């Protein structure tokens, strides 16, 4: 079992308690989910509260397990205070990017901690790019840097094609938040791990270019 910090326990507990409330109270769920119309009418709390709601137990479990495994990597590398800052800023970055891309869709809604969790995941990848990740149905470990680049590219494709009921833009926004803050807090990574800093930036540059060209 991993040595889990109290901050991670508090975050996971908050997600579980608020998500369970949302599972059983549809009015509560609708009041605090990410919704473009609600936010445009002044309900900015949705930008934050929506990240503690989940669609179902499997959605909640996946996000919390990912956080459980990667939070210690970030905490051990940068400390608990910076970990919490990265989590919260990535959460907001994910929802801000979603708002930017869907601002003209009043009925667009979303929920989940994926943006915040992706920020923690990408921070962990910057610190330990060669750690092995085991994914479903793949019996061998995949280098974290390969997963990071591939997932961002898939998220860009998912945004363009609107694949599934998934907030691909929130994933990218969260990853961007974790990436940027980690480099801000630990600028020495530009010297010690320049290759991974550049490599993880490539999908973000592709997204920027595609957006400028009106392709996404």
Q: What is the pLDDT of residues 37-95, one digit of tens each?
A: 999 999 999 999 999 999 999 999 999 999 999 999 999 999 999 999 999 999 999 99
Please check the confidence at residue 1 and state whether its pLDDT lies above 60.
no
pTM: 0.93
What is the pLDDT, as a whole number, of residue 12?
98
What is the pLDDT, as a whole number, of residue 145?
93
Return d(Cα 61, Cα 54) in angstroms, integer.
9
Residue-by-residue DSSP string for the chain: -----HHHHHHHHHHHHHHHHHHH-HHHHHHHSEEHHHHHTT-TTHHHHGGG--SSHHHHHHHHHHHHHHHHHHHHHH-HHHHHHHHHHHHHHHHHHHHHHHTT-TT-EE--SHHHHHHHHHHHHHH-TT-EE--TT--SPEEHHHHHHHHHHHHHHHHHHT-TT--HHHHHHHHHHHHHHHHHH-TTHHHHSHHHHHHHHHHHHHHHHHHHTT--
* C-alpha distance from residue 203 to each of 161, 172, 180, 196, 216 (Å): 16, 9, 14, 12, 13
The fraction of the chain above a pLDDT of 70, given in percent, is 96
Structural domains present in the chain: 6-212 (1.20.1540.10)
Return d(Cα 88, Cα 95) in angstroms, integer.
11
- Contact between 77 and 127 under an 8 Å Cβ cutoff? The reply is yes
- The two tokens of residue 179 are 């990436």
Return d(Cα 45, Cα 49) in angstroms, integer.
6
The residue to which tokens 């326990």 are assigned: 9
């Amino acid at each position: 079992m991993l040595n889990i910090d109290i901050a991670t326990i508090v975050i996971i507990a908050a997600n579980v308690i608020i998500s369970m409330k949302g599972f059983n109270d549809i009015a509560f769920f609708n009041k605090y989910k990410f919704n473009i119309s609600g936010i445009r009418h002044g309900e900015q709390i949705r930008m934050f509260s929506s990240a503690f709601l989940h669609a179902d137990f499997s959605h909640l479990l996946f996000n919390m397990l990912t956080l459980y495994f990667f939070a210690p990597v970030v905490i051990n590398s940068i400390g608990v205070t910076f970990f919490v800052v990265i989590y919260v800023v990535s959460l907001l970055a994910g929802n801000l990017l979603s708002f930017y891309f869907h601002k003209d869709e009043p009925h667009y809604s979303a929920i989940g901690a994926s943006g915040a969790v992706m920020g923690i995941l990408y921070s962990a990848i910057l610190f330990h790019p060669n750690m092995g990740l085991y994914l479903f149905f793949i019996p061998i470990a995949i280098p974290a840097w390969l997963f990071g680049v591939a997932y961002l590219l898939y998220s860009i494709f998912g945004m363009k094609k609107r694949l599934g009921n998934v907030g691909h833009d929130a994933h990218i926004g969260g990853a961007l938040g974790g990436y940027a803050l980690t480099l801000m807090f630990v600028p020495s990574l530009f010297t010690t791990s320049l290759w991974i800093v550049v490599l993880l930036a490539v999908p973000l540059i592709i997204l920027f270019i595609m957006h400028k060209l009106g392709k996404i």
